[in-house]
A and B are shown apart, each in its own frame.
Chain A
């Protein structure tokens, strides 16, 4: 069974630009969550989508947005990039029930210069 796939693996953008990250979940998983990972803050929850609907949202500004398609693939968009947005962005998929395991992708390393 193929794992969670995130593309691209690495990105370098300049301040003010926007970026779109993609996540393909495990087949059959309807829940996709996004996290920002930094050395100082650890793993911070961005948002979660289930059946194309955003079900939960973390404390990030509106510049961070996402969506989920009918095939459960998800995209995350960050507009007006800031230096502080440099981080590893992780996507996780799961069947969506409470005590089920979340499977993580390798992440997209975003560097804003």
Chain B
């Protein structure tokens, strides 16, 4: 069975500081990994996916298969980055692909 673990429920940093949101997964095959973000009073939306290897809003995430991790990083946090972040894994769930989410990390960027 697939599982996603986000060890930090809360993360608080100051504006301009680097930020790293941790994500570890367990899955025996080759999963697809995503980061979703939910800003205050907005719907959950895709931030980035590992397959596209792109940087969105200054965020990057590298899939480390050896450590089964997909940590989200940004070198200089901004106040508008304050949001709930969810790591997600898409993998075969028995009869179709299933998207499994971690419990989320609430990031607060202080001025």
- Do the two chains belong together in a single complex? yes
Instruction: Identify the A interface with B (CB < 8 A).
Output: 3, 31, 33, 35, 41-43, 45, 48, 50, 55-56, 90, 92, 96-99, 101-107
The yes or no answer to B54 lying at the interface (CB within 8 A) is: no
Question: Chain B: how many interface residues by the 8 Å CB criterion?
Answer: 24
> Is B46 within 8 A of A98, CB to CB?
no
Chain B residues in 8 Å Cβ range of A104? 43-45
> Is B102 within 8 A of A42, CB to CB?
yes
Main DSSP-derived SS at the B contact region:
strand
Interface-central residue, A3, A48, A107, by most chain B CB under 10 Å:
A48
Q: What mask results when residues 35 to 51 of chain B are scored 1 for a CB within 8 Å of chain A, else 0?
A: 00000000111100101
> Is A99 within 8 A of B93, CB to CB?
no
> Is B100 within 8 A of A106, CB to CB?
no
Instruction: Report the bound CA distance from A50 to B51 in whole Å.
Output: 24
Cβ of B100 to closest chain A Cβ, rounded Å: 6
On whether A99 and B101 interact (CB within 8 A), knowing A55-B96, A104-B44, the answer reads no
Contact of B99 among A3, A45, A50, A105 (CB under 8 A): A45
Chain B residues in 8 Å Cβ range of A101? 34, 46, 49
Instruction: Report the bound CA distance from A32 to B34 in whole Å.
Output: 18
> Is B99 within 8 A of A33, CB to CB?
yes
Cβ of B42 to closest chain A Cβ, rounded Å: 9
Cβ of B28 to closest chain A Cβ, rounded Å: 16
Instruction: Report the bound CA distance from A92 to B86 in whole Å.
Output: 15
For the complex of A and B, the 7 pairs showing the least CB-CB separation, nearest first, are: A42-B103, A55-B96, A43-B101, A104-B44, A99-B32, A98-B97, A56-B93
